[in-house]
Amino acid sequence: MRILAIESSCDETAAAVIEDGRKILSNIVDSQVETHALYGGVVPEIASRGHMEAVCRVTRQALAEAGMGQGALDAVAATCAPGLIGALLVGANFGKALAYGLGKPFIPVHHIRGHIAANYLAFPALKPPFITLVASGGHSMIVRVDDYTSFSVLGGTRDDAAGEAFDKVARVLGVGYPGGPKIDKLAQGGDPGAYKLPSSHIKDAPLDFSFSGLKTAVINLAHNAEQKGETLDRAGLAASFCRAVTETLVPRLETVVRESGLRDVSCAGGVAANSVLRTALGQMAARTGANLYLPPLSLCGDNAAMIGSQAYFEYLAGNVGTTLQNAFATADIGENICTKSERKPLVKKP
C-alpha cells in the first residue's frame, strides 16, 4: 500500500511516499527555519502562509522522487494534531481534498505517533510492544507502545518540553534559532560539570519531571553573570544543560525499562538528535541489556515519512477520516483523532 503523507504541524512543509508503513519511496522536507530565525522563533501565521506556498510543490517533488503519478497512490495522509492550528489546517485540508479528488481514503495522523513511527522506517524489524522516550519541541514523555495504535503514557513533563527548554536556553545564550542543534554543538567544547543545575523530583510521581526550573536556573545564571560583568562559560553552561536534561530523562527511562520486562527501547522527536542524550541512551542500554533503537538524525526532526508510516498502521486499524475531518491544536497520544460524526446542524434562533 502506497501512502502519500503530508506534514505541516510547525515550520516544515513535508511530503513523502511510504510503502506498507516501512519503506521510504520519497521524503521531501521544505524547512522555513531561515524565515523564522529572523524572529527568534516560529511565527504561527507566517508558518501557515509558508505551508500554503510550499505544499503543492513538495507534494509534486515527493511523487516525482517516488517515480509515480498521483493515480498510483492508495491513500493520502496528513498530520491533523497536535500542532499550530493554522499550520495543521493547511496540510490537513490539502490532504483531504487530494484524497477526495482521487477517490482514495484520507488518514489523519497524530504527530507524536508519527515521531514514534520513524523507528519503523529505520528499523523494519521493530514491532510493538516497546518503550519509547518522546522528546520534541512540544512533548516530553515516556511511552509504552502497546500496539501500533495503542499507547500508555507512563511519565512526562509537568511543564516545558525538552525542546522548548533547549530553544529558550539557546536564546539566552545568544546562539539563535533553532536552539537544540546549536546548543548541542556549543556543548561539545564544554565541561558538563562547569555549572551545577537543579534537577526535578515530583512527589508521588517518580516518572514525571519538570524542565521549567532548569530553564529558569540557566536564564538566571546568564543574567547574573551579565549584571556582574563576569564572563560566562557558554560552552560549559551548554554542556551542563545538556547533561541536566539527559539526567532528567534517562534514569526515568531506565526505571521503566527495568520494571517493564520489555527489551526494546526507542527514542523519538527532535531532541532525540541530541548527541549527549544519544550517548547516555547507549550507556543505559549497555547497563540494562536493552535493545536500543535510535532513529537517524534525518528522521528525528519533523518529516512526512514518519507520518506515512504511522498512517499505514492507522489504516489497518480502521482509523480513516471523512471529509469532515478536522485538525486539533492539542490531542493526547491515546486519542483517536478521526472526526467521523456529522457535525451537528446549527440551530437557528427563532
> Which parts of this chain interact with ligand KG4 (CB under 6 A)?
10, 115, 136-138, 163, 166-167, 178-181, 184, 269-271, 273-274, 301-302
Residue 11 binding result from Zn ion, ligand KG4, none, given CB thresholds of 5 to 8 Å by partner type: none
Closest CB to Zn ion: residue number: 302
d(CA 226, CA 236): 16
Cell of 102: 482521487
Is residue 13 at the binding interface for Zn ion, with CB under 5 A as the rule? no
Q: Which is nearer to Zn ion, 139 or 243 (CB)?
A: 139
Q: Which is nearer to ligand KG4, 272 or 320 (CB)?
A: 272
Decide whether 26 or 136 has the Cβ nearer to Zn ion.
Answer: 136
Q: Which does 271 bind (CB under 5 to 8 A by kind): ligand KG4, Zn ion, none?
A: ligand KG4
179 touches, from ligand KG4, Zn ion, none (C-beta below 5 to 8 Å by class): ligand KG4
73 or 183: CB nearest ligand KG4:
183
Stretch that binds Zn ion, among 136-144, 152-160, 210-218, 249-257 (CB under 5 A): 136-144
* Contacting residue, 59, 93, 132, 136, with Zn ion by CB under 5 A: 136
- How near is the Cβ of 164 to Zn ion at its closest, in Å? 12
From residue 287, how far is each of 147, 254, 271, 294 by CA, in Å?
Answer: 26, 9, 22, 16
181 binds, among Zn ion, ligand KG4, none (CB under 5 to 8 A by kind): ligand KG4
Residue 163 binds which one of Zn ion, ligand KG4, none, with CB within 5 to 8 A depending on kind?
A: ligand KG4
Nearer to ligand KG4, 1 or 43 (CB): 43
What's the closest the beta carbon of residue 270 comes to Zn ion, in angstroms?
Answer: 6
Q: Closer CB to ligand KG4, residue 211 or residue 315? A: 211
Q: Is 302 in the site for Zn ion (CB under 5 A)?
A: yes
Q: Which is nearer to Zn ion, 14 or 217 (CB)?
A: 14
Three-state secondary structure readout of the chain: CEEEEEECCCCEEEEEEEECCCEEEEEEEEECHHHHHCCCCCCHHHHHHHHHHHHHHHHHHHHHHHCCCHHHCCEEEEEEECCCHHHHHHHHHHHHHHHHHHCCCEEEEEHHHHHHHHHHHHCCCCCCCEEEEEECCCCEEEEEEEECCEEEEEEEECCCCHHHHHHHHHHHCCCCCCHHHHHHHHHCCCCCCCCCCCCCCCCCCCCCECCHHHHHHHHHHHHHHHHHCCCCCHHHHHHHHHHHHHHHHHHHHHHHHHHHCCCEEEEECHHHHCHHHHHHHHHHHHHHCCEEECCCHHHHCCCCHHHHHHHHHHHHCCCCCCCCCCCCCCCCCCCCCCCCCCCCCCCCCC
167: partner contacted, choices ligand KG4, Zn ion, none (Cβ within 5-8 A by kind)? ligand KG4
Residue 252 interface partner, choices Zn ion, ligand KG4, none, CB cut-off 5-8 Å depending on type: none
The footprint of Zn ion (CB under 5 A) covers 136, 302
